[in-house]
Structure 1
Amino acid sequence: MEREYILSVLVQNNAGVLCRVSGLFGRRGYNITSLTVGETLDPRYSRMTIVLYGNEYILEQIKKQLAKLEEVEKIVEVEPSSAVFRELMLVKVWASAGSRAGIIEICNVFHATIADLSPTTATIEMTSTPAKNNAFLDLLAEYGILEVARTGAAGLQRGEKHLSLEK
C-alpha cells in the first residue's frame, strides 16, 4: 500500500551531500515530496527531513541506499503521530481595498501574518502543518493567488526521542 513516509536523516555537513542524497532518489525514479535541510547545533552535521510517497519496499530500498552514503550518519523513520511538523509558506494574493478585510479575517483565524502589503497585493506568512497550510490556500483561492513558496516539512520527534549520534 502506498502512503507518505517521513525520514529524518543526520548527515555530515559537507559540500555536495544534498546533491548525492537527492541524486540517489532521482537515479532510482523515486520522488521526493518535500526536502528540508538545515545545520544542527553541531555545525559538523545537518538534519534532512525527507517526505516521500511510496510503499514499504520503496522505503526500505531508500533507507538501504541512504545508509550506503559515506556522509549519512543516522536514518530514522518518523511517524507523524509521534512528531511535531511545521512548514513555512509565503502566499501572494490580490488584495484590493475592498477585499483586504476578508483576507485579514482569514489570516487571523489561521494565525497568519501579513508580511507585505502593496496597493494591489498582500504577501502572507503562514507557519503550520502542511494540511492547515493547504486549508489556508483553499480559503485564499477566491481572492486570486499569484504565487506560493513553501519550505517543506521540518519536524522533531515528540518527548525525549531525538536524532543524534548517541545510541
Structure 2
Amino acid sequence: MTKNHVIAVLVNDQPGVLQRVSGLFGRRGYNIESITVGQSEEPGLSRMVIVTEGDDTTLEQIEKQLYKLIDVIKVVNLSANPMVSRELALIKVKAEPAERPEIMGVVETFRAAVVDIGAGSMMVQVIGDTEKIDAMIELLRPYGIRELSRTGVTAMTRG
C-alpha cells in the first residue's frame, strides 16, 4: 500500500550532502514530497526531514540506500511511531479593504496571523500539519492568492 513516509536523516554538516541525498532519490525514481534541513542538537550534524511516498518495501530500500552514503549517520522512519509534524506557510492574498474582515475571520479560525498588510493585499502566516495548511489555502483561494511559500514538513517522534 502506497502512503506518505516521514524520514529523519542525521548527516554530517558538509557541503554537497543535500545534493547526494536528493540525487539518490532521483536516481532510484523516488519522489521527494518535501525536504527540510537544519542544524541538529549535535554540533557538526544536520537533520533532514524528508517526506516521500511509497510502500513499506520502497521505504526499506530508501533506508538501505541512504546508509550507503558516507555522510549519513542515522535514518529513522518517524511515521512508524506517534509523531508531531508541522509546516509553515506564508500566503499573500488579494484583500481590498471591504474583504479584510471576512479574511480575518478565516485567519482567526485557523489561529493564523496576519504578518503584513499592503494597499491591496494581506500576508498570512499559518503553522500546523499539512492538512491544516491545505485547508487554509483552499479557503483563501476564492479571494485570490497572489503568492504562496511553504516550508515543507519538519517532525519529531513524541515523548
TM-score by length of structure 1 reads 0.92
Q: Provide the residue aligned with 1:62 in structure 2.
A: 62
Deviation sequence 1:109-154 (CA, Å, 0-9, x none): 1111111110101111111111101111111111111111100000
Q: Which amino acid aligns with 2:17?
A: V
AA in 2 matched with 1:101:
P
54-63 vs 120-129, which deviates more? 54-63
Alignment partner of 1:11 is 2:11: yes
Query: 1:112 is matched with which residue?
Result: 112
Superposed structure 1 runs of 4+ greater than 2 Å apart: none
User: In 1, distance between residues paired with 2:100 and 2:81?
Assistant: 36
* Alignment of structure 1 residues 75-94 onto 2, 5 Å: 75-79=75-79, 82-94=82-94
Q: Structure 1: 5+ residue runs without aligned partners?
A: 160-167
Partners of 1:139 and 1:43 in 2: CA distance: 42
CA shift in 2, pair 1:29/1:136, >3 Å: same
> C-alpha offsets along residues 21-77 of structure 1, whole Å, 9 cap, x if unaligned?
000001111100010000012231011111001112211111111000111110110
Identity percentage of aligned residues: 43
Task: Mark the CA change 1:64 to 1:80 in structure 2 (over 3 Å): closer, same or farther.
Answer: closer
- Distance (Å, rounded) in 2 between the aligned partners of 1:47 and 1:3: 22
**Which structure 2 residue ranges, 5 or more long, are not aligned?**
none
TM normalised by structure 2 equals 0.96
Query: The residue matched to 2:101 in structure 1 has which SS?
Result: helix
Aligned residues: 159
Counterpart in 2 of 1:2? 2
**1:1-167 map, 5 Å:** 1-79=1-79, 82-159=82-159
How far apart, CA to CA, are the structure 2 residues paired with 1:111 and 1:80?
29
One-letter identity of the residue aligned with 1:13: D
Deviation of 1:80 (Å):
6.8
Question: CA-atom RMSD, angstroms?
Answer: 1.1
Aligned counterparts of 1:54 and 1:71: Cα–Cα separation in 2 = 24
